[in-house]
Structure 1
Amino acid sequence: MTPPGAGHKSVLEGPDIRRALTRIAHEILERTKGGGDVVLLGIQTRGVTLARRLAAKLEEVEGRRVPWGSLDVTMYRDDLRLKPARALGRTEMPPEGVDDRIVVLVDDVLFSGRTVRAALDALNDLGRPRAVQLAVLVDRGHRELPIRADYVGKNLPTSKRETVKVLLTENDDRDAVTLGPAHSGGPSTRSDGRGRR
């Protein structure tokens, strides 16, 4: 039996992910002039973990709490009728809300752009931010919509036949980003971050 993740090579390990998130946190603070009105919203599932980590980094640097929450985009996706039913995640808004604030959407992998489009639709139902930005750990290219990340941990050139898998300690007991053949079996074939995002 082939072990899960067989054939996948590691392109980022724990220290690389920590450095990428530290850099993104500093870029957010610079671009938003100190981040005083920033709200981080992580896109389910691993985007939520990354948003939590980014909020901690921002607080570490600025010495004040940065509100963060989670955004489930399942019901806003344009491929619902094409894929099997999936479990709904949770949308949790910080008490500050999003009205007239700078919302930074956080996700693990940017691929087609369709997940981000769904997140923008979901956000539209929650309030009216002053601006919306996007932070991703990995941008793997192959956009199908005109969507660009404002903050990128790593640009990773890939083939459409490859799968990018993000592992985070809170979800997977390990921090890593791996690249391997699509449909290689195991958890790498999940749709959360690997498919047409």
Structure 2
Amino acid sequence: MRWNQADTDALITVMSEQVASLYDAAPPLLVGIQSGGAWVASALRARLPVEPPIGSLDVSFYRDDFDTRGLKRSVKPSDLPFEVDGAHLLLVDDVLMTGRTIRAAMNELFDFGRPASIRLAVMFDIGHRELPIRPDICGETLALPPHQRVELFGPAPLTAEIRDIRPEE
């Protein structure tokens, strides 16, 4: 299955409506997880009536599987151009699977300060949880077998597709 630019635009619109229903006053500060989450956060920000400040996290050093996965070549510095202490944050990622990336992101956020609240927005929830983490805002929920993943391509055009991760025989 593939999602073209029009499909992902529709998902971002759904997510922006959910943000509006959760935050009747000012929208929260957006924090996108590199790289797909940062792309989604940027697209989401453009759809909100008031564009809130936006930051990004690279959670590579905070992952609990860092010793087995190693370091990606594309590690980027985290960038939070606002004060985290007391802020209402909307953590944004492209795909929620096990919950481990979100846990790593929250650990990193707390190194920057103590937010008043953190909510989670994801474009796709594929539900292979290993930790008790759930999204507050979700573009689409999918039931995928363990050998499939959703991969996001971007930042523009923002597209996605389901990929089979089984090793070729």
Same fold (TM over 0.5): yes
Q: How does 1:46-195 map to 2 (within 5 A)?
A: 46-58=36-48, 62=49, 64-87=50-73, 88-94=75-81, 96-170=82-156, 174-183=157-166
Q: What stretches of structure 1 of length at least 5 have no aligned partner?
A: 1-8, 186-197
Cα-Cα RMSD: 1.7
8 Å contact kept, 1:77–1:114: yes
Which residue pairs with 2:9 in the alignment?
A: 18
Q: Which moved more, 1:120-129 or 1:160-169?
A: 160-169
Rg comparison, structure with higher value: 1
Which residue pairs with 2:31 in the alignment?
A: 41
Q: Which runs of 4+ in 1 moved over 4 A?
A: none
Cα separation, 1, equivalents of 2:30 and 2:140: 19
Cα separation, 2, equivalents of 1:165 and 1:55: 21
Q: Give me the TM-score of the superposition, normalised by structure 1.
A: 0.79
8 Å contact kept, 1:37–1:101: no
What SS does the aligned partner of 1:125 have? helix
Paired residue total: 167
Aligned identity (percent) is 34
Amino acid in the other structure paired with 2:43: R
Q: What stretches of structure 2 of length at least 5 have no aligned partner?
A: none
Q: Give me the TM-score of the superposition, normalised by structure 2.
A: 0.91
8 Å contact kept, 2:19–2:27: no
Deviation sequence 1:41-69 (CA, Å, 0-9, x none): 000111111111111111xxx2x331001
Q: Tell me, yes or no, if structure 1 residue 29 matches structure 2 residue 58.
A: no
8 Å contact kept, 1:164–1:178: yes
Deviation sequence 1:125-147 (CA, Å, 0-9, x none): 01111110000010011100000
